[in-house]
Structure 1
């Protein structure tokens, strides 16, 4: 019997610490206009989350619209086995794009991987038809203004969860995108990986192609370091993982013509297990089985104006191992694609102000203009709203007493659109402290002009902005790029925040010590700093190697795990902009 239930439950949740007051435009550790994060609280709070459960005699699927629309739980009912990794905690960690990734469940990413809305609410609707239940989640994302909808459905006799995903581009420009469905499954040493044969791209500390049947790992215990595997020419359409000690598994099947992407990710057993433990509650391990409409995660495609993309996938929970070569995509009759909702912007706290600005401009009614965000408000003009630049220019004219704040937002919006020269013109006209900070980043990163960048930071007057760790970090990077003549200035600024136990400032202090030739002190500082783990960032590793060279240490040596950086080969279009 089909049942649909909506309910609220509570999860332990570790709050996030925002990176700072500089908009994320052109930031390699962020994605504009989303706020990015620098730290996860060590102690959780209790927070409510909305859930929707779809249930029949075979399975119970629970979806959480407040966690980006992810499938939170997938239970095989005859055995009572949970087939996903489910943790009673939201404990985000440093993985791009926003550095607030959580593992487990089934995450659908768009337009970049991982999704920038993984732990925030998205829109949703439910439908209970006579023979099928539906929950549809999605939004109009704020980076480009594209729409995505993921539809999960369950028929009366289905022993599988059907996932249909639709992307639309209602804007006048083509935009890059990628998407992966990422299922976090329990991983024990005996967890078996049931994947097709064929050539596989192995992504660890090096990139290489292996033959899966001959050289691929058969179980979790065979993997000794974090590694991703991408199938190039699989000889089957299905794949999955099964854990004998738990008596459960999860399989995926789809038409390879529309869902060619197939991936396994595991941190393995041993040295890299802490990378998983950091987002669980009890240290339990998980692996990720993934599928997508693009072959691998180094590739993005363009969605043309007015275009729509649709693909369908199936998830099969089980209490026994399945033969992947016998699995076929089920024949399911789904409603016409026109029935799928075209959700708008999902979180008014991010977008309502900018909608007001656009509506006031359209009416040419200055009385409808809201106040711009203040120094303590990290809402930045939404790049996914077309034509907002004209509205922001008009707002600066209509509210001359607030023109600096509006011009900051204009500059951020333009920088988020990669219109750098126009952005710098608006930011200079603003003269607001955050505008100077963003201009400094643009001069250093985009114009390769460290002296102009340093001059921008010197114009900041408000101590709360000038001494913020994010601004201090970027200022020091700009001054360092100028050269040795700025050493005294760098020392003076870093001394003003010397009591702060901030890992990003510790990194810059170590860099300064190395620039001063005080390599032993730089090494000691890095060794005693409790860095949180961060994926695919290698600045500290490069600094460590430089310090070893400065100390005359010879021979190869792996960077210590205490630096908090992985040792993966650079691969994948995870960053919008390259790391320094």
Structure 2
């Protein structure tokens, strides 16, 4: 029996709060041109999602194109056991690149980890042949304009899911990329780790290489903190986990020559469990087993113009332990790479406007040109759309009443492509509030001119824009960098939003108190604020250590309420370094 079908279902979904109106170009807490987020709503809404299911007599696979093409469920039919942590609620947490990560299922990321489209729709296509079912999900990503497709397929007698991932660069420039397939599985104290022997890079509060056979944990209960493991020289090509208490497991196998990356991530039992329960509904735990074509997440490859990449891997749901050293790589008959569909931009509300701009320019018809996004519309010119450069320049000339907005978009486009000098030229020519705020970020971060950055903020005209928490935060970072002469100006702006309980503003109020020498007050402010958790950001940790130094307290312990992890800084999650 081979069957494929589509259906919709509703999930509790926690909406996200936008970080703000400044384009995410050169932003260490975002990735241009995607909007990033500052916090997760505490109360969920009901939201409908589209799902695709394919099954044979042995396994049932459910894919959700509306969640970035994630494998939502993988069921071993003989036992009825779910191999994945099948998320009952969409409750995003703050992990880069967009700070809207959800665990569980199988996530395929590209061109950075984690996927920037993890909880938004992508294109999909299905095909049922006589002896094989196919689901393809993918899009043209907005950052660089490269195309990615993940192909899930299931043969008539397969007891495994075949995943083939295809990347293609249709642009005229080479671009960096990484990709990991991240499977979230249920985690219990007795969950067993079946991974290869060999040297392993251990990433916890320190980086070190361990011998897995001697030092590696064998069960979840042996891990007492968040930690990741990357295999350097595995002695076999398979790995997996099995949980006796629920009688369910998931194993992975791939050709080591093509898909050498192996990773295990666990938050362990104890103090870091809350980092998982924040994206669950009832306190369940989840851990991650990952695979990819690159050895670890500090490395990126390059895809040249016209070049492509493809790799295949296999996921095996099971109700028993499997011997990883004897697990073969399945041999399956897949269509030629050229038959894998490639998709365009996936979300019309993000891309259509820019396609209309290019169309109007190509036809030289100003009457076809739409109006640019307003100050309350966080759509920024797609850096992955090469044709926009000349189209935006033309738009500014044929729509003179919208000159400042089109120039802002062109400046953001240049900044998103790391063409800083050209970006500043266009942003200064615009003079629009968003342009000034982005120019200030570039002057501070890329040029190192804090005085020009401060001057940009002082030119902002809209009072509402000037008092937005994102603008207030970045202005205060700039003024703090200038020194004591700006204390009065900083105090003025922070006082204007003193009633807001925004955690970004709390952080900057504490920083101001430190710079005023009010260390005890700064400490109390941070201690009485419970921050939402955020991975791989350490600004509050560094601020706390400054406070302790100012108080003459030798203690180095950082309160968990600050919401920052205690990992050693590692990995290419950020495109730009944190301040």
Q: TM-score range by the shorter chain?
A: over 0.9
Instruction: Name 1:299's counterpart in structure 2.
Output: 299
Shift of 1:389: 1.4
Q: Secondary structure at the match of 2:429?
A: helix
Counterpart in the other structure of 1:411: 411
Residue ranges of structure 2 left out of the alignment (5+ in a row): none
Give the CA RMSD over aligned residues: 0.5
1:170 and 1:507 map into 2 onto residues whose CA distance is 43
Q: CA deviation at 1:402?
A: 0.5
Distance 1:18 1:557 in 2: 33
**1:211: which partner in 2?**
211
Aligned to 2:88: 88
Distance 2:54 2:212 in 1: 36
4+ residue segments displaced more than 6 Å: none
Q: Is the 8 A contact 2:72 2:87 kept in 1?
A: no
**Conserved 8 A contact 2:149-2:165:** yes
Matched, 1:264 2:272: no
Q: How does 1:83-482 map to 2 (within 5 A)?
A: 83-482=83-482
Quote how far apart the aligned CAs of 1:295 are.
0.5
Contact kept, 8 Å, 2:374 with 2:405, in 1: the verdict is: yes
Tell me, in whole angstroms, the C-alpha distance in 2 between the residues paired with 1:189 and 1:528.
33
> Which residue of the partner structure matches residue 6 of structure 2?
6
Give the Cα separation in 1 of the matches to 2:255 and 2:540: 43
Match of 1:574 in 2: 573
TM-score (norm 2): 1.00
- Normalising by structure 1, we get a TM-score of 0.99
Say whether the 8 Å CA contact 2:168–2:306 is kept in structure 1.
yes
Shift of residue 5, structure 1, vs aligned partner = 1.1
C-alpha distance in 2, partners of 1:82/1:464? 49
Deviates more, 1:488-497 or 1:383-392: 383-392
Q: How many angstroms does 1:463 deviate by? A: 1.2
CA distance in 2, matches of 1:145, 1:191: 40
Aligned residue pair count: 579
Cα-to-partner distance string for 1:398-438 (whole Å, 9 max, x where unaligned): 01110000000000000000011110110011010111100
Partners of 1:273 and 1:217 in 2: CA distance: 17
- Which secondary structure does the structure 2 equivalent of 1:478 belong to? helix
Look up the SS of the partner of 1:372 in the other structure.
Answer: coil
- The structural deviation recorded for 1:387 is 3.0
SS at match of 2:447: coil
C-alpha separation between the residues in 1 aligned to 2:246 and 2:504? 41
CA offsets 1:236-288 (integer angstroms, 9 cap, x no match) = 10000000001000000000000000000000000000000000001100110
Partner SS for 2:154: strand
Distance 1:216 1:388 in 2: 51
Partner SS, residue 239 of structure 2: strand
Decide whether the 8 Å contact of 2:372 with 2:406 is kept in 1: yes
Does the CA-based 8 Å contact 2:532-2:563 persist in structure 1?
yes
Question: For residues 42 and 60 of structure 2, what CA distance do their matches in structure 1 show?
Answer: 32
Give the Å deviation of 1:204.
0.3
Question: 1:423-572, aligned counterparts within 5 Å?
Answer: 423-554=423-554, 556-572=555-571
Question: Which whole-Å CA distance do the structure 2 matches of 1:318 and 1:10 have between them?
Answer: 28
Distance 1:578 1:271 in 2: 28
Q: CA deviation at 1:557?
A: 2.0
Per-residue CA deviation, residues 6-40 of structure 1 (Å, 9 max, x unaligned), is 00000000000000000000000000000000010
Contact 2:87 2:105 in 1 (8 A): no
Which whole-Å CA distance do the structure 1 matches of 2:26 and 2:167 have between them?
A: 25
